[in-house]
Structure 1
Amino acid sequence: MKKDMLAFIDEKHKFLENNMQVHYRHYKTVVDIGLPLMLVNKLFNEKKDKIFIPKYNISSSEFDVLMTILSHGKQMSPTVLSENMIFSSGGMTKLLKKLEDKKLIRRIPSKKDKRSLLVALSQEGKKLTIDAFGDIVKINMEVLSKLQENEQIMLGDLLKKLLVELSESQD
């Protein structure tokens, strides 16, 4: 698998070098940094799904919704939830329906607006989220064990720097 990923990146380099000479220098940065970031995220989500689907009957996307609600600390509107997620509100609606069908969340009428429903974790949803988070910690420890401690710190610092820059540019 390791060689497959490196071969995949090398293949993209060759394509860009042969077909995009004018912009190759800029594309090289995308392939060297952006592509590995996307692939790490993809592989990490696949690792989560290998545990979450058989053990908890949830996808990594469903876990992300549950974790967002848990970390919010109280009930929240689907709009606020969507703003804190990477999904569209249409995608969010489908995820919420699945989670409600699994009895992991419950809908509560809003006191401010009787037409809207807030989302909260059920007791079962809270327990599942906490248990699944323990598995996330194990996965992270396994993945990060491939890096030296100073590399882990450096990676964390660089990713935080990018997050700050990207979030500020969104404002």
Structure 2
Amino acid sequence: MGWEPGNSARMRRRYQHLTGRVLRDTAAKVGGLLWPMAADGGEEATGAAQASAGGLVYVARIGEYLVPFRDRGHADFLMERWRSERPGQLAEVEEWERWKWEREGHGGPGAVRDRLPNRRVVHHAHAAFLPSGAREPATRLDPWSVDVWEFETDLYPDQVVRWGTLRRVGGVIDVRARARSKEP
């Protein structure tokens, strides 16, 4: 790579280190590109080769989310927790070949999880104040806190605490606050 002879070993150690998993995944991808069909097995052998190259991905289909896991137990746990908190919403686990997830899933191989997502509680508050300073009776019900998982990014504030005010007609001021914590 054009390094000086005396520094090449040090430079290789510093810039060319790769983990075993990265090397295996790369080798599997290159192998799939070079030999997409087994000589004597046709499509069936190709599917088996792709499956053995990457294995299964357990996809928890919960509500509108697809959350892929390496471990079936993690997917099952997430599905059961989702069902208990959101009755009536879709919750099931599907087994996908890894190559299928990489082709059709959101986020590719980097999205496949090897741990359970962290729980968070997102706290919401909404109040309206009259020009006199008195609090107006609540016009709508906002939950004070909502349990969410890290993949529900639409429920997350981008800061630990966020608040804002809005002046309505007649001098009424709306105040909204949102905060998050790691505690379930």
What is the TM-score when the length of structure 2 is the normalising length? 0.25
Identify, as 1 or 2, the structure richer in strand. Answer: 2
Structure number with greater Rg is: 2
Identify, as 1 or 2, the structure richer in helix. Answer: 1
What is the TM-score when the length of structure 1 is the normalising length? 0.26
